[in-house]
Amino acid sequence: MTASEEKFTRQTLTDVQTLTPSLFTLRTTRDAGFRFRAGQFARLGVRKESGSIVWRAYSMVSSPFDEYLEFFSIVVPGGEFTSELSRLREGDQLLVDRQAFGFLTLDRFPDGRDLWLLATGTGLAPFLSILQDFEVWERFETIKLVYSAREEKELAYRELIAGLAQREYLAEYAHKLQFIPVVTREQVPGCLNGRITTLIESGELERAACLELSPEHSRVMICGNPQMIEDTRAVLKGRGMNLALTRKPGQIAVENYW
């Protein structure tokens, strides 16, 4: 075994689910030594026919206590990594870096009453991991999960989100969570319509949540495409909310691994 090979483990795909032509989920075995905090990501590798390995970062959907790892992926047309990844089937191997990475974790916030989780597309993944970890339910009085997709069919994991309330260990905390789905390209009953930034600026998001976004009480995690993150940060900055840094507490945490 070479030094480079020692940096990753070979895991076996146990389940592959196609959600739409461009979205799919992967579940793999988990190395006993792999540890992560809810909200972190792993570097996944696929070996091409040429023998070279392509690596990309993927947030865990699964909780830190699950015996498996689950990931949520989009198919990028012609993408070097996702085109290889989307061809994998149950029984195939996926390479997983031995170390977890990322700072989209609850320890970014030493305080706060209300937690807002703002996601677009596959940026939902780290928030699902966080919501399956008990810590978030104990720490915050209110949790608002805002998930935006282009079309209703792309709103993934709705069964998992709805099922959180039925989990025995969350029974007395389930009332804290409100799921606010957003669809941008079509009008869907029960869903907000428009970009997250527009919904914040118009006040529509806060009206739907029956809660104010405020520097005093709100802590906001954002995960999605880079433009969405940048635009949302700018809107929230106008509300007096700033990035939470190691030596400078703030109200916003983001993940940039695109």
Query: Residue 43 pLDDT more than 90?
Result: yes
Per-domain residue ranges of the chain: 5-97, 106-254
Domain 106-254 has CATH 3.40.50.80: yes
Average the pLDDT over 136-142 and give the result. 97
> Beta strands of the chain (E only): which ranges?
8-20, 23-29, 41-47, 53-59, 68-74, 93-97, 114-120, 142-149, 177-183, 192-193, 218-223, 252-254
Lookup result for tokens 């047309």: 77
**pLDDT, position 3:** 43
| Banded pLDDT at 2 (limits 50, 70, 90) | low
Cβ count within 10 A of residue 20: 13
Query: Residue 49 pLDDT more than 90?
Result: no
Query: Residue 44 pLDDT more than 60?
Result: yes
For the record, the structure tokens of 226 come out as 């880079």
Query: Residue 258 pLDDT more than 70?
Result: no
**pLDDT, position 83:** 84
Query: Residue 113 pLDDT more than 90?
Result: yes
In the CATH hierarchy, which fold is given to the domain comprising 5-97? Elongation Factor Tu (Ef-tu); domain 3 (2.40.30)
pLDDT digit string, tens, across residues 157-205 = 999 999 998 999 898 999 999 999 999 999 999 999 999 999 999 999 9
Average the pLDDT over 13-35 and give the result. 96
| Banded pLDDT at 31 (limits 50, 70, 90) | very high
Produce one character per residue of 151-167: b if its CB has 16 or more CB atoms within 10 Å, e if not.
ebebbbbeeebeebeee
Edge-to-edge order in the sheet of strand 53-59: 53-59, 41-47, 93-97, 8-20, 23-29, 68-74
pLDDT digit string, tens, across residues 51-109 = 899 999 999 999 999 999 999 999 988 888 988 888 899 999 999 999 999 999 999 99
Could you tell me the pTM of the whole model? 0.95
Comparing 80-94, 108-122, 141-155, 229-243, the range with the smallest average pLDDT is 80-94
Instruction: Find all residues with CB under 8 Å of 213, minimum gap 6, and list them.
Output: 116, 200, 205, 206, 220, 236, 239, 241
DSSP 113: S
